[in-house]
Structure 1
Amino acid sequence: MTLLIQWLLRIASALVILSVCAVIFIYYLASRSLPDYDKILQTSAVSASVDIVRDNANVPHIFGETDQDVFFALGYAHAQDRLWQMIMLRRTVQGRLSEALGTQTLETDTLMRRLDLAGHARASVSAQDAGTLVALKAYANGVNTRIDEINLNALGRGAPELFMFPQSIAPWVPADSIGIQKLMALQMTGHLENEVLRARVSLALSDQKRLDDILPLAPGTGVAALPEYAALMPDMPRYAASDTAPLSPLSPFPRYGMAGASNAWAAATSRSASGGTLLASDPHLGLSAPAIWYLARMELQTGGVIGGTIPGIPAIITGRSDALGWGLTAAHADDQDLFIEELNPDNSQEYRTPNGFAPFKTRKSIISIKDAAPVTVTLSWTENGPVLPGSLYNIAAVTPPGHVAALGWTALSDKDTSLSAIMGLMRARTIGAAVASTESHIAPVLNLTLADKENIALKVIGKLPRRDAKHQSKGRLPSLGWRTENRWQGTFPYPTNPGFVSPLGGIVGNTNNKVVDRPFPLHMSYVWGDSQRVERWRRLMQAREVHTRDSFVEAQLDTVSYTARALLPLVGADLWFTSEAAPDGTRERQRQRALTLLSEWNGEMNEHLPEPLLFAAWMRALQDRLIRDQIGPLADSFTHVDPVFIERVFRDIDGASAWCDVRQSAPRETCADMARRALDDALISIEERYGSQIEALRWGDAHQAVHNHQVLGNVPILRFFVNIRQSTSGGDNTLQRGLTRGTGPRPFENVHAAGYRGVYDFADPDSSVFIISTGQSGHFLSRFYDDLAQLWRRGEYIPMSLDIDLARAAAVGVTRILPPDR
């Protein structure tokens, strides 16, 4: 027995030693890819000495004698810190995720092959202006120099993730950068899903008058009534539509309500306490670890520029120079249409056009799959665009038998000069020059907020499709692709895009709200991204005669919900203090306690308060009760509360209170009944997850910011090292926007927010500040992986200076890149 115990101890000790050695070995391999920021690099790709000075937040400040060398260094810096992220973005564009990740991403790859963003990007390279071509090639050389350095010096393959996915790294080319820009455009537009959802709801509703309740127009001047979808598609039967299948892993197609958002505003000198113009910008995208944003400064021949870049793209997307600041918000312009194409009943390889049946343009594409046989897919295009599968957003549910659906989208261009427009914006010194340089921008359609030293402006940039005045659905529903009146007639000229220069009020801005209300077909959109934040923004801007950098920061971080202040008095009108006393522990008593808290609440979505959780859960349960009886499982597609819908119902606008009556029950329910029952539903769901002590609830426990690693975030053990979690304030409709997940067991997690914040004061530009949501490095062993995350959570910023001496002071390293003869 003693001998057995001794051998068991020896075996256990050996296993422990082997495990420790394995961990040390894995750490050694992973740490090899940590970049050295303090070194000298020689390469023939630069013409003179270039310095990459890393400040104490690891922001690279790049100084070179030519712009070409500076863009080379930016590519090198991006590849040092975010190589894995860049590779994954490129694989997504190319539809090549399955080569590394297996069958789980096959559907995503198939969709991306059908869009052929990579092909359009390759074709668009030659359309760029000369300066942009030089920058793209130099940037690609910088990335490739880092890849070569990794291979030559065995630097851990450049990122720990690449040990798990050992495919070779292809050289970076200019088309890769254009492709990533197109990928961003895909993530920022949601009109495709909106058209499909509107059609599905139209088919499911027995009363078409209710369609504009559940999918309401943004507040403002109304438009002509649209036909119901069944009238456009007489072969489509009415039915209780099933729910939409979830998007496949790593899909860049946005879920409903998750398309691009953002805030940006500016103040003229007349509204600035410092006497200089002010600008604030915080673009909103899905949260991830690392963040999509990467801070950088480049010293170009036209002057220094600093701000937020996206790894893979050689440009400051949002930021400032010493003379100009710019911020971008999603314009939500209707730049997508879904066309229903009729197949030739005698030949399924043809579809109907205005001139008879014509063959599809087709091409076969082979998708390689890790640990599985390759799959060959046939890609098809009509004159209107690529043919999409019926599984995407459940397009099949609105496609009659014998038909397919094709996508029209402005980004599907072989002459996409959007990147040239952004490059020109970086070099602009005035608002006039900035507006002129962005005429070549195509997609996505954006609101460009500008401030130079004298003036402020907002200009819509990007191509707006020109539709016929007789268009059957006005672009709001899938339309018949062979009807001439439904087809696009080119795009509107750039000067017709809305613009506001030097407004009399001295303030300009956008929160994804309606910018202009022009009649169809001159309209921009029927679907906008915000009807709530803008109300709070307007109040904050008008509350002060003059603003400062700090007041703009306060507005960016404001967590007061206009929605809560507007809806609670309406929804709870018949419930406040009207019930009889109830004993402790009963459902009635819980409801009274919740109503008492909410009646005294000022609408601040503070992470430490219980009221935001009570409000969010109540409104979520209320909307579900109102709509599920009418549209069944399709209610699952409405993942976020629409405040305009709730208001229409409780104000009984155009008979919208009909949603309160449960059709399948004999009694006639009132809206007060639904509000009371929904509150009970909310309290039960809260108790099941967070406990019954209402006063002890914390919004931040439910509203955690979720920065997940896209691939390793679900791997056991590893996820604790690569994912970042933070308790956060704000909500769906606050200026400090933290859009909730809306689905699953944790519907209130913060998954879509301002990954970048910047505030610029042109009276003292070096007092400007910015921040990103994680850290500069994509390497989870780096101290710069999450060092900015807590600052971001607390609403703090770091300096945004173009002063060379400040950049060099306390630098964490200087990489000097020299030609071979130096």
Structure 2
Amino acid sequence: MRSVFQWLLRLFMGAVVIAALGLAFVYYFASRSLPDYNADYSVDGLSNDTEIVRDNANVPHIFGPTAEDVYFGLGFAHAQDRLWQMTVMRRTAQGRLSELFGERTLKVDELLRRFDFYTLATKSLSVQDDETRAALDAYAKGVNAWIKTVNDEALGRGAPEFFLFPPEIAYWRPADSLAIVKLMGLQLSGHLSEEVLRAQTSLLVGEEGLKDILPDDPSDAVAALPDFAALFPSTPKNFKIAKAETDFLNPVPTRRMAGASNSWAAMPQRSAAGGTLLANDPHLGFTAPAIWYLARLELPTGGIIGATIPGMPVVLVGRGQQVGWAITSSHLDDQDAFIEKLNPSNPKEYLTPDGYKPFETRRTIINVKDGSPVTITLRWTENGPVIPGSQYDLGLITPKGHVASLAWTTLSAQDTSLMAGLKLMQAQSAEQALDVMSRTFVAPSQNLTVVDNDTIAMRVIGALPKRHQDHQTQGRMPAPGWIATNRWQGMLPTSDAPSVRNPNSGILGNTNNKMTDRPYPNHISFSWGDTQRVHRWKGLMQGREVHTRDSFIEAQLDTVSYTARSLLPLVAGELWYTGEAAPEGTPEARRQQALKMLADWNGEMNEHLPEPLIYSAWMRRLQDKLIRDDLGPLADKYTHVEPVFIERVFRDISGASRWCDIKQSTAKETCSDMARIALDEALLWIDQTHGGNLEALHWGDAHEAHHDHAVLGDLPLLRNIVNIRQSTSGGDNTLMRGLTSGEDPAPFTNVHGAGYRGVYDFADPDSSVFVISTGQSGHPLSRHYDDLGELWRRGEYIPMSLDPELARAAAVGITMLRPN
């Protein structure tokens, strides 16, 4: 017996030793790709010595004699820290993910091939000016210099992820950067999804119901539209909503995830220090590492510092010594879906205003890891590419004998958006910045806010589709593509873009709210990204005569929900303080306790409080009960509370209280009944998922920010290393926006928000601050993988200084690049 025990012990110890050696072996090779920031490199493609000084937050400060040298240095730094991220983004834009990931990304590749981003990016190289082509070429050479260094010095393939996939890394090309611009356009575009949902909802509830559940901004008149069924009578109404096959590496945003942001600016007379102020926090889906990468470029025209996206040689948001710039999603309606009628005698043709014409077609092959290559035929109409019915649920609203196509400003082979960004960095005044961006920026449309020492201004930039006055759906739902008046009539002149400069109030801003009342067809959009946050922002801006950098930071980090403050009195009005105290332990007593807690709550979505969870669960359950019997499975598409819909129902605007009556029941339910029942069901859900003691709940436990690694984040053991989790405040409708997933079983997980925050004070530019939501490095073993994330969670920032000596004083490394 003793001998058996001894052998078992030896086997166990041997297994431990082998496991330890295995882990050490893995760690050694994975750590080989950690870059040495204190090194000299002789590289090809560089004209002059270039210096990369990395401050103690690992922000590279890049110094070189020429702009091309600096862009080379940025490409080198991006590749050192984010090579895997850049590779995946490039493959996504090219539609080549399946070569690495097999069939699970085949649907993504099919869609990206149909958009044909890479072909369009390659064609658009010819319309860039010489300076832009030189910048793109220098940046690509910088990326390739690091790839060559990795290969020559066996530096762990450049990133740990490459050990799981073929080691070959294609060299970077200038067109790759332009393709990533288009990929970002996809991630910021949501109008196609909105059109399809509007059409589906119209089929079930008609025009009147559509005005309630998908209302226009209440400050604007509601335009009359035909029912979708009137346009396409043969479209079936008994459609089933299929669950998405996979979200793995899918760049198509789900509803409410198509980009958001905040920006605001103050003129010197509204600033305590006498200089202009600017704040910006663009919102995107959370990832590890973040999409943003902080950098400082010392160009011949002056120093620039701010946030870049690896793969592109441009500071997208940031400041120079004289000018600061910020962006928010404009929600310009830059997408229109069309239903194209096939020729019954020849399905290779489609109907146009001039009769049937053949599709423009091209075959393309998608190589699939561990599978057979897949050949698809790309089809384009005069309106745009044909999109399969399996994408965006288009098949559910496309009648038999028809296909759907897409017109979209991003699908331009004359796209000079990146050129505009490069010229913006050289602007010496707000007027110069506005001029160059309005003339040369194409897509995706943004609200550009710029400031200099005495000017603040905001302008919509990007191509503005021109629609005919007689367009049947005004671009709000898919329309017959063979009717000439439904088609785009070209683009509006750039002078038609809404803009504001030096307002009398001395303050301007945007939270993705409606910014113009111009009527169709010269409007901007019917669907805006915010009807709520803007009210809180106005209150904070008007609450002070003058502002400071710190007051702008306070607004950026504000977690009070205007929505909660406005909806609770409506929904709970007939439930508060009514009836006698219920016996302890009963559902009625629990409901009364919840109502009392909400009555004493100020609407602050603080991670340590229970009330935000009670409120959020209640409103979510209430909306589902209001719409489920009318929409059936389509109700699953309404993943987030629509505040204006709830308000319409409980104020009975245009008879909207009819949504409170459940059609399948014999009794006639009132809105007060629905509110009470929804609260009881929400409390039951809370009890089952978070525990029964209401006062012990914490919003942050449910509203945990998920910064997940896109590839390794689902793997056992590795997920604990590569994923970043943080308890967070905020919510769907707070200025410090933390958009919830809306998906069971964890509907309040924080998945979308400000991956970058910056506040710029031009009274003392070097006192400006910024931060990103993770860290600068994409290497999970680097201490800079998540070091900025904790600062971000706590609402802290790091200095945003152009002082080179300050960067050198606490540098974590100085890299010298020398011509080979």
- The question of whether the paired residues in 1 share the 8 Å contact of 2:207 and 2:225 is answered with no
AA in 2 matched with 1:340: I
- Deviation track 1:94-124 (CA, whole Å, cap 9, x = no partner) reads 1111111111111001111111111111111
> Equivalences for 1:296-307 in 2 at 5 Å?
296-307=295-306
Hey, what's the Cα distance between the residues in 2 that align with 1:530 and 1:417? 29
> Equivalences for 1:183-262 in 2 at 5 Å?
183-205=183-205, 207-239=206-238, 242=241, 245=244, 248-262=247-261
Hey, what's the Cα distance between the residues in 1 that align with 2:357 and 2:183? 30
Cα 1:728/1:167, change in 2 over 3 Å: same
Corresponding residue SS for 1:714: coil
> Equivalences for 1:497-576 in 2 at 5 Å?
497-576=497-576
Hey, what's the Cα distance between the residues in 1 that align with 2:605 and 2:818? 52
- Deviation track 1:682-707 (CA, whole Å, cap 9, x = no partner) reads 10111111101000000000000000
- The question of whether the paired residues in 1 share the 8 Å contact of 2:307 and 2:756 is answered with yes
Shift of 1:458: 0.3
Residue matched to 2:591: 591
- The question of whether the paired residues in 1 share the 8 Å contact of 2:341 and 2:351 is answered with yes
Is residue 261 of structure 2 the alignment partner of residue 272 of structure 1?
A: no
Is residue 13 of structure 2 the alignment partner of residue 13 of structure 1?
A: yes
Shift of 1:221: 2.1
- The question of whether the paired residues in 2 share the 8 Å contact of 1:447 and 1:461 is answered with yes
AA in 2 matched with 1:385: G
Residue matched to 1:355: 354
Is residue 142 of structure 2 the alignment partner of residue 142 of structure 1?
A: yes
Residue matched to 2:805: 805
Cα 1:143/1:503, change in 2 over 3 Å: same
> Equivalences for 1:278-427 in 2 at 5 Å?
278-427=277-426
Hey, what's the Cα distance between the residues in 2 that align with 1:86 and 1:752? 20
- Deviation track 1:629-681 (CA, whole Å, cap 9, x = no partner) reads 11101000000001000000000000100000001111110000000011011
- The question of whether the paired residues in 1 share the 8 Å contact of 2:707 and 2:751 is answered with yes
Cα 1:247/1:372, change in 2 over 3 Å: closer
Residue matched to 1:729: 729
Shift of 1:6: 3.2
Hey, what's the Cα distance between the residues in 2 that align with 1:237 and 1:705? 40
Cα root mean square deviation, aligned: 1.0
AA in 2 matched with 1:399: T
- The question of whether the paired residues in 2 share the 8 Å contact of 1:98 and 1:104 is answered with yes
Hey, what's the Cα distance between the residues in 2 that align with 1:97 and 1:646? 41
Is residue 629 of structure 2 the alignment partner of residue 629 of structure 1?
A: yes
Residue matched to 1:663: 663
After the TM superposition, which of the residue ranges 245-254 and 385-394 deviates more from structure 2?
245-254
Structure 2 gaps, min length 5? none
Shift of 1:167: 4.5
Shift of 1:241: 5.0
Hey, what's the Cα distance between the residues in 2 that align with 1:760 and 1:618? 39
AA in 2 matched with 1:623: Q
Corresponding residue SS for 1:528: coil
After the TM superposition, which of the residue ranges 319-328 and 372-381 deviates more from structure 2?
372-381
Hey, what's the Cα distance between the residues in 2 that align with 1:500 and 1:37? 44
Structure 1 gaps, min length 5? none
Corresponding residue SS for 1:372: coil
- The question of whether the paired residues in 1 share the 8 Å contact of 2:459 and 2:498 is answered with yes
- Deviation track 1:346-383 (CA, whole Å, cap 9, x = no partner) reads 11111111111111111111111111111111111111
Shift of 1:18: 1.2
Corresponding residue SS for 1:817: strand
Hey, what's the Cα distance between the residues in 2 that align with 1:290 and 1:260? 18
Corresponding residue SS for 2:407: strand
Shift of 1:580: 2.2
Hey, what's the Cα distance between the residues in 2 that align with 1:642 and 1:310? 32
Shift of 1:45: 1.8
Q: How many residues align?
A: 819
Residue matched to 2:30: 30
Shift of 1:728: 0.3
- The question of whether the paired residues in 1 share the 8 Å contact of 2:308 and 2:317 is answered with yes
Hey, what's the Cα distance between the residues in 1 that align with 2:782 and 2:404? 47
Shift of 1:436: 1.0
- The question of whether the paired residues in 2 share the 8 Å contact of 1:706 and 1:751 is answered with yes
Is residue 498 of structure 2 the alignment partner of residue 471 of structure 1?
A: no
Hey, what's the Cα distance between the residues in 2 that align with 1:673 and 1:277? 52
Q: Percent identity?
A: 61
Residue matched to 1:580: 580
Hey, what's the Cα distance between the residues in 2 that align with 1:95 and 1:808? 42
Residue matched to 2:85: 85
Corresponding residue SS for 2:340: strand
- The question of whether the paired residues in 1 share the 8 Å contact of 2:731 and 2:737 is answered with yes
Corresponding residue SS for 2:422: helix
Shift of 1:236: 1.7
Shift of 1:218: 1.2
Corresponding residue SS for 1:377: strand
AA in 2 matched with 1:388: I
Q: TM-score, with normalisation over the residues of structure 2?
A: 0.99
- Deviation track 1:770-796 (CA, whole Å, cap 9, x = no partner) reads 000000000000000000000000000
AA in 1 matched with 2:474: K
Residue matched to 1:698: 698
Shift of 1:582: 1.2
- The question of whether the paired residues in 2 share the 8 Å contact of 1:245 and 1:391 is answered with no
Is residue 102 of structure 2 the alignment partner of residue 102 of structure 1?
A: yes
- Deviation track 1:216-262 (CA, whole Å, cap 9, x = no partner) reads 10121214301110111122243365356455421111101111000
Corresponding residue SS for 1:427: coil
- The question of whether the paired residues in 1 share the 8 Å contact of 2:296 and 2:306 is answered with yes
- Deviation track 1:26-79 (CA, whole Å, cap 9, x = no partner) reads 000000000000011112422211110000000000000000000000000000
- Deviation track 1:455-512 (CA, whole Å, cap 9, x = no partner) reads 1000100001001111010000101011100111111111110000111110011000
- Deviation track 1:250-306 (CA, whole Å, cap 9, x = no partner) reads 111110111100000100011000000000000000000000000000000110000
Shift of 1:579: 2.6
Hey, what's the Cα distance between the residues in 1 that align with 2:715 and 2:397? 37
Residue matched to 2:67: 67
Runs of 4+ in 1 over 4 A off after TM superposition: none
Hey, what's the Cα distance between the residues in 2 that align with 1:153 and 1:362? 45
- The question of whether the paired residues in 2 share the 8 Å contact of 1:421 and 1:441 is answered with yes
AA in 2 matched with 1:302: T
- Deviation track 1:689-736 (CA, whole Å, cap 9, x = no partner) reads 110100000000000000000000000000000000000000000000
Hey, what's the Cα distance between the residues in 2 that align with 1:771 and 1:27? 29
AA in 1 matched with 2:293: Y
Corresponding residue SS for 2:787: coil
Hey, what's the Cα distance between the residues in 2 that align with 1:508 and 1:268? 9
Residue matched to 2:770: 770
After the TM superposition, which of the residue ranges 37-46 and 76-85 deviates more from structure 2?
37-46
AA in 1 matched with 2:639: T
- The question of whether the paired residues in 1 share the 8 Å contact of 2:53 and 2:814 is answered with yes
After the TM superposition, which of the residue ranges 57-66 and 811-820 deviates more from structure 2?
811-820
Hey, what's the Cα distance between the residues in 2 that align with 1:328 and 1:344? 45
Residue matched to 2:431: 432
Hey, what's the Cα distance between the residues in 2 that align with 1:216 and 1:436? 35
Corresponding residue SS for 1:730: coil
Corresponding residue SS for 1:705: strand
Hey, what's the Cα distance between the residues in 2 that align with 1:585 and 1:143? 65
Hey, what's the Cα distance between the residues in 2 that align with 1:390 and 1:168? 35
Hey, what's the Cα distance between the residues in 2 that align with 1:337 and 1:453? 40
- The question of whether the paired residues in 2 share the 8 Å contact of 1:200 and 1:398 is answered with yes
AA in 2 matched with 1:227: P
Hey, what's the Cα distance between the residues in 2 that align with 1:269 and 1:596? 45
Hey, what's the Cα distance between the residues in 2 that align with 1:9 and 1:660? 68
Hey, what's the Cα distance between the residues in 1 that align with 2:579 and 2:204? 37
Hey, what's the Cα distance between the residues in 2 that align with 1:169 and 1:237? 48
AA in 1 matched with 2:336: D
- The question of whether the paired residues in 2 share the 8 Å contact of 1:730 and 1:736 is answered with yes
